[in-house]
Structure 1
């Protein structure tokens, strides 16, 4: 893997972890997510217009992916209000490629190599360590694990959809087309709730807006890395965001991230690397 591609993929991983940490530290993650989405869509709309390249076949994919993106952000924001980022994020990011692999095996009949099988086992063990090994736990970690799995399901679903949808449009145009309806739906739902407008006004600020911009920049860095290296290698490096988020959750969010949870996050990274490279 060329050094420049490695640097781009690693930079994307850092930014992806960072924007999640920013949303996780907000007092009202749901409102902060709305601000982040609006900022990102507004700033990158001119870029999408200038790069416009889409055919008519893109619209069915836009409908599906925007619905899945809406569910993804709604679940993610709720998860960060009820649980710790260092629990939700590793499980969400780690289980998504496992679910994609399982779907390919069960529905598409694709094979699973020995490296991928080991990778699934490592992810599973890592998730257990991140969630905690206590039997019958119903605390915040248990809720975080449940939300993480739900978020992972959304990621896996829109990954499978976008794999084909992006064939019909420029990647940045496709991302913008999918995010606009999701943003309108998310903000509209929040405004329809009690005190929704007041929550948005109270949360509006530079940090939530920055989180939205970082999410798009992280994606742009991945696109640049993909031009320089194979997709599997880029995906493997990008998953280091799991470990980055776990490492930074302590100093930035005050979460109690001990060696066991860090070890679990590291296993998730290793397992995903085996799955993507296998």
Structure 2
């Protein structure tokens, strides 16, 4: 992985943590996720008009990714209703790199060195350590199944999009169609579930939701592009270092607690990044 790709993925991680914090900050998490999807649809439609459509070889992966994205959004929203950002986010994101690593080793053609695999494992374990309070202090344990299911969705769409983008012929066109289709389905489901009252009349809420959507599109476009330049498992692991930013946002802006375990976990995650990058 080149220095430019590495820096781009870390920046994507910051953007990803930012939009998650916006969704968590709002009082209605489901409404926030629907607003996120509205922004996805608008931006996706614009990208479709500008960039070439993905090649037929990528369409199966695209369809699978849309399904996994919907799965992820539904379970992530449920998890945020049940726990803190600094607990939900590590579980939801920390599981994905380990799942992707396993699938990459068994099914994908990506070549990973042992030291890189060790770095990915370190990142995953460090992220799990961030969520220790859920188990040690019995903090809203009901969030765990939702967060784990969201993680499976993350792993699924990471692999689908990495493979699909490589076959698409146009990463931007692929991402545009992905967000447009995902937005149409999720927004339609949200309105069917809650009615038109789900869409806010408060301009502040609307602006925050749309801003989160823009950050989300930018973050994921970078990640998908990076998967065409580097192994999917490495990009996924680096992208999940967004948990460091999420915990910082949770502590500084949302009033969540910081303890020694979180600090130690941050050191383990950073060690994993160094291993993947320096060796």
Shorter-chain TM-score tier: 0.7 to 0.9
DSSP-derived class of the 2:142 partner: helix
Asked if structure 2 preserves the Cα contact closer than 8 Å seen for 1:8 and 1:224, the reply is no
DSSP-derived class of the 2:258 partner: coil
Change in 2 beyond 3 A, CA 1:4/1:134: closer
Q: How far apart are 1:25 and its partner, in Å?
A: 0.6
TM-score, scaled to structure 1: 0.82
Q: How far apart are 1:240 and its partner, in Å?
A: 3.2
Give the aligned partner of residue 187 of structure 2. 187
Q: How far apart are 1:18 and its partner, in Å?
A: 0.5
Asked if structure 1 preserves the Cα contact closer than 8 Å seen for 2:122 and 2:268, the reply is no
Change in 2 beyond 3 A, CA 1:184/1:21: same
Q: How far apart are 1:116 and its partner, in Å?
A: 2.3
Which string of whole-angstrom CA distances, capped at 9 and with x for unpartnered residues, describes residues 14-50 of structure 1?
Answer: 1111011111111111111111111122034223321
In 2, Cα distance between equivalents of 1:257 and 1:192: 39
Pairwise mapping of residues 23-62 of structure 1 onto structure 2 (< 5 A)? 23-62=23-62
Give the aligned partner of residue 132 of structure 2. 131
Give the aligned partner of residue 215 of structure 1. 216
Give the aligned partner of residue 18 of structure 2. 18
In 1, Cα distance between equivalents of 2:181 and 2:47: 17
DSSP-derived class of the 1:201 partner: coil
TM-score, scaled to structure 2: 0.82
Pairwise mapping of residues 31-110 of structure 1 onto structure 2 (< 5 A)? 31-106=31-106
In 2, Cα distance between equivalents of 1:93 and 1:134: 17
Give the aligned partner of residue 201 of structure 1. 200
Q: How far apart are 1:273 and its partner, in Å?
A: 6.3
How many pairs are equivalent?
Answer: 274
Asked if structure 2 preserves the Cα contact closer than 8 Å seen for 1:97 and 1:156, the reply is yes
Q: How far apart are 1:107 and its partner, in Å?
A: 5.2
Asked if structure 1 preserves the Cα contact closer than 8 Å seen for 2:75 and 2:149, the reply is yes
Q: 1:161 aligned to 2:152? A: no
Asked if structure 2 preserves the Cα contact closer than 8 Å seen for 1:123 and 1:269, the reply is no
Change in 2 beyond 3 A, CA 1:172/1:115: closer
Give the aligned partner of residue 243 of structure 2. 242
Change in 2 beyond 3 A, CA 1:208/1:277: farther
Farther off after superposition, 207-216 or 61-70: 61-70
Give the aligned partner of residue 171 of structure 1. 171
In 2, Cα distance between equivalents of 1:254 and 1:189: 33
Change in 2 beyond 3 A, CA 1:61/1:5: closer
In 2, Cα distance between equivalents of 1:66 and 1:218: 17
Asked if structure 1 preserves the Cα contact closer than 8 Å seen for 2:17 and 2:246, the reply is yes
In 2, Cα distance between equivalents of 1:162 and 1:221: 12
In 2, Cα distance between equivalents of 1:2 and 1:275: 12
Q: How far apart are 1:219 and its partner, in Å?
A: 2.9
In 2, Cα distance between equivalents of 1:118 and 1:219: 22
